[in-house]
């Protein structure tokens, strides 16, 4: 199966396969990295308009436009054809080298730093790992309460972490795996190609990093106005990443996650109430079903 050219974001999940019908993980990694780098190039046009004080004009499909600014993170949004759910991209500067920032976000447990609805994560599979490139399948479980109603969502996605040409890119896209089937009581988030992180030296500095975070996803079964509010806050992860890396930890009331490294190299991180397991269904436990 051919991969989609990096011509724009789409709310389709296309998984390339080889001639034997197996998932071509390398092609999937290359495709997802190309998509997010393409969007970074495109958002720079909207960024220049914003810096020059120009207005965006009428909102059009597939065009980045200024959304808001908070904590020195500038956030842009894009309306996609045929969907009321937008994608959001944020940019901000972190006082740390590219390698330090990338090494942190490339760790399974890093999401606990900026997402207080996350209750557990698991590395389902290490596809390949080298000094400058690694491919994984990661699982995340979220839990939130609104109006006394508890909602659980999960997320199973392929992630490529790669250093190249002085940049670090961490791209993500939803996949399937037999160890992590969907469960009736837990809604599975859809992560589309183009999601992830890009880190590059800020103005040529080797001590500061320009961080870009792109959220292109569907929380599933939420009104579009609520989905857009939730997704629109995702780029603020850069702010909490900045706080963590500048030794100003975010105060959290949750128990500290525990980390287990298995003999096969897989790493499992969970809140202390989780049970040991060999599959996602066991990892979640009966009380989450």
Contact call for residues 197 and 213 (beta carbons, < 8 A): yes
Contact call for residues 114 and 237 (beta carbons, < 8 A): yes
Span 29-33, average pLDDT = 95
pLDDT at 167: 94
> Is 132 a residue whose pLDDT tops 60?
yes
pLDDT band at 145 (very low <50, low <70, confident <90, very high): confident
Kindly report each contact of residues 120-123 with a partner whose C-beta sits within 8 Å and lies 24 or more positions away, as own/partner: 120/257, 120/269, 120/270, 120/271, 120/274, 120/283, 120/284, 121/257, 121/268, 121/269, 121/270, 122/268, 122/269, 122/270, 122/280, 122/283, 123/266, 123/267, 123/268
Query: What mean pLDDT value characterizes the chain?
Result: 83
pLDDT tens column, 75-91 = 999 998 888 999 999 99
pLDDT at 270: 47
> Is 206 a residue whose pLDDT tops 70?
yes
Longest Cα–Cα distance of the chain, Å, equals 56
pLDDT at 250: 42
Say which range, 101-110, 241-250, 260-269, has the weakest mean pLDDT: 260-269
- pTM (2 decimals)? 0.83
Better pLDDT: 209 or 20: 209
């Amino acid at each position: 199966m051919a991969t989609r050219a990096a011509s724009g974001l789409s709310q389709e999940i296309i998984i390339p396969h080889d001639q034997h019908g197996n998932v071509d993980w390398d092609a999937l990694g290359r495709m997802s990295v190309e998509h997010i780098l393409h969007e970074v190039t495109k958002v720079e046009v909207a960024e220049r308009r914003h810096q020059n004080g120009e207005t965006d004009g009428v909102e059009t499909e597939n065009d980045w436009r200024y959304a808001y600014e908070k904590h020195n993170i500038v956030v842009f949004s894009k309306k996609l054809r045929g969907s009321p759910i937008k994608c959001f991209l944020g940019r901000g500067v972190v006082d740390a080298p590219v390698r330090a920032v990338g090494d942190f976000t490339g760790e399974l447990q890093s999401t606990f730093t900026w997402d207080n609805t996350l209750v557990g994560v698991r590395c389902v599979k290490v596809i390949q790992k080298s000094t400058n490139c690694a491919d994984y399948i990661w699982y995340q479980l979220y839990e939130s309460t609104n109006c006394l109603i508890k909602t659980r969502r999960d997320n199973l996605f392929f992630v490529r972490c790669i250093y190249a040409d002085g940049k670090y890119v961490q791209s993500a896209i939803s996949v399937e795996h037999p160890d992590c089937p969907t469960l009736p009581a837990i809604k599975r988030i859809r992560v589309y190609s183009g999601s992830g992180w890009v880190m590059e030296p800020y103005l040529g500095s080797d001590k500061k990093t320009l961080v870009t975070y792109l959220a292109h996803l569907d929380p599933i079964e939420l009104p579009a106005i609520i989905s857009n509010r939730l997704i629109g806050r995702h780029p603020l992860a850069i702010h909490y990443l900045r706080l963590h890396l500048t030794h100003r930890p975010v105060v959290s009331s949750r128990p500290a996650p525990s980390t287990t490294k298995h003999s096969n190299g897989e790493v499992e991180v969970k809140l202390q109430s989780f049970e040991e397991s060999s599959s996602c269904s066991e990892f979640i436990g009966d009380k989450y079903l």
